[in-house]
Chains A and B, each alone.
Chain A
Amino acid sequence: GENVEQHPSTLSVQEGDSAVIKCTYSDSASNYFPWYKQELGKRPQLIIDIRSNVGEKKDQRIAVTLNKTAKHFSLHITETQPEDSAVYFCAAIRGTAGNKLTFGGGTRVLVKP
Chain B
Amino acid sequence: GAVVSQHPSWVICKSGTSVKIECRSLDFQATTMFWYRQFPKQSLMLMATSNEGSKATYEQGVEKDKFLINHASLTLSTLTVTSAHPEDSSFYICSARDRDGDNEQFFGPGTRLTVL
B78 CB–A CB distance under 8 Å: no
Partner pick for A100 among B31, B42, B49, CB 8 A cutoff: B49
- Tally the A-B contacts, defined by beta carbons under 8 Å: 49
- Once A32-B103, A34-B104, A49-B104 are accepted as A-B contacts, the answer to whether A44 and B51 lie under 8 Å apart by CB is no
Among the listed stretches B12-20, B61-69, B80-88, B105-113, which one makes contact with chain A, having 4 or more residues with CB under 8 Å of it?
Answer: B105-113
Are B109's CB and A46's CB within 8 A? no
Our pick among A43, A49, A100 for the contact of B34 (Cβ within 8 Å) is A100
A93 contacts B44, CB within 8 Å? no
CA distance A43 to B4 in the complex (A): 10
Question: Contacts of B95 on A, CB cut-off 8 Å?
Answer: 101
Residue of A nearest to B112 (CB): A41
Bound form: Cα–Cα A37–B11 in Å: 24
0/1 per residue, A90-113, Cβ < 8 Å to B?
Answer: 000101011011111110100000
Task: Report Cα–Cα, A97/B49, bound state, in Å.
Answer: 12
Q: How far is the CA of A27 from the CA of B8 in the complex (A)?
A: 36
Q: Is B93 an interface residue (CB 8 A)?
A: yes
Say whether B115 faces chain A, with CB atoms less than 8 Å apart: no
| A73 close to chain B: CB less than 8 A | no
CA distance A50 to B6 in the complex (A): 27
Is A61 an interface residue, CB under 8 A from the partner? Answer: no
